Structure 1
Amino acid sequence: MALLEVRNLSKRFGGLAAVNDVSLDVGQGEILGLIGPNGAGKTTFVNLLTGALPSTSGTMLYEGRDVTRLGPHQRCRLGMARTFQVPQPFGGMTVLENVMTAALFGSSRTGRTRNSAEARARAVLDDVGLGEAADDRAVSLTTAGLKRLELARCLATEPSLIFLDEPLGGLNQTEVTEALDLIRSVRSAGATIIFIEHIMKAVMAVSDRVVVLANGAKLAEGTPSDIVADEQVQLAYLGDVSGAVDRYARLREGRTA
């Protein structure tokens, strides 16, 4: 059984089909890359999957349970968590307090105390490299720090499925490399990840499978090597693809040249 099953999901705004009849499965423990140009429907699709928007039609099953009509907080407590393209911390709180809030209110575990939430939050902050910033105000973090805080708040809810919505935006090359290593470590710890990103090389480097959206519909689906070799994808998204297969191979091997 797939961890997440999406069947014929659509979202219409009046006569505009922002997401049109998209189906996919996400397996336990995989990283699924979701790509497409601006206006392809990626963010709307993620908002449907996480409950931020109601779907017009279609169904979603998480661990075999129909979650199509559940709200974001209900999905979170079942084990689905997300980051946002633009980090949205509680600016008046410390880094630790932000993550403690997620631990206290985002988890389905009963009986969690303030002390246990703090212990969980400190452990997660250490995992994402923010342990020394625990007592800093969230608004004092750099862009890279805010992205890590978004991930820490997800992890504090003890999710099985994480939606990473453009987590690399605004990062420099060194920070991108570090973020990809962190994503790999999160998957290695047992999480399943849907990775939405514009940086094609990054998606190809860490994803087990890739889904391509175009005009709200699914254009292609396959392994990174399948997607790189797909002529439709090459023409629509990759532009000049001379050497793309070689670049992809080097990235999978951890080389950046």
Structure 2
Amino acid sequence: MPEGDTVYRTALLQNRALAGSVLTGFEVRMPQFSTVDLTGETVVEVASVGKHLFHRFSGGLSLHTHLKMEGAWRTVAPGARWPRPAFQARAVLSAADVVAIGFELGVTELVATVDEESVVGHLGPDLLAPEASTRPGPHAWDPEEALRRLRAEPEQTVFGAILDQRNLAGIGNVYANELCFVRGLLPTRPIGEVADLPALVALARRMLRANRDRFTRSTTGDLRPGRRSWVYGRTGQPCRRCGTTLLGGELGRREGEERVVTWCPVCQS
């Protein structure tokens, strides 16, 4: 599933392409919204909240989408060939000089812009949002609120707690693995036993911000192929720090929510 930095970048690119444009065509290929036509309205902005996307329109509606595992938004020139098959399209927004297509979106729905909190109100502070002190809002970055939420379930594993979007909006499996390694934390350690939780939260924000404006994600600082992650996707390979064989398995908040996890038995405790 795309992580918060990918969704942030998607919103940025969509906003650059569409903001201020008048729609010449509008189609949501979902039965309950198939008759809605916003042609003639202006795209006010495209923004992300955690892993959620909102295309906001002048008439007061927002197109809420979530990429889930396979989803993607792409833009093409009018009349140009689409990068994916048409049957995968869930939403098509046309303007005079651009067409934006949402392919295989996990969530596609229209909501009133003023009611966006009905679908994202459960999320914690957005790691890529502006500081609450500079731009207040329900998902503005507030480290103290993030810490309060993480500490509310002290028995939860570190891995599960930082993956929970109700605590920190934007972290996915890649960052959960990498954060645990860099901070030297065994993924199964209870979050309540983490001595320097503020440092973990601060690192999460730095990692996502470092990657939000580039297509090649790296948590090691090295952009070369095969050198971009510490542990994610490297089960059975040697630890980059100590050379010990990395272990792997599955871990989640509860049954059915397991994610692939990799760790170093020496560097993490």
Same fold (TM over 0.5): no
The normalised TM-score by structure 2 is 0.28
Structure number with the bigger relative contact order (C-alpha 8 A, sep ≥ 6) is 1
Q: Identify, as 1 or 2, the structure richer in helix.
A: 1
The normalised TM-score by structure 1 is 0.29
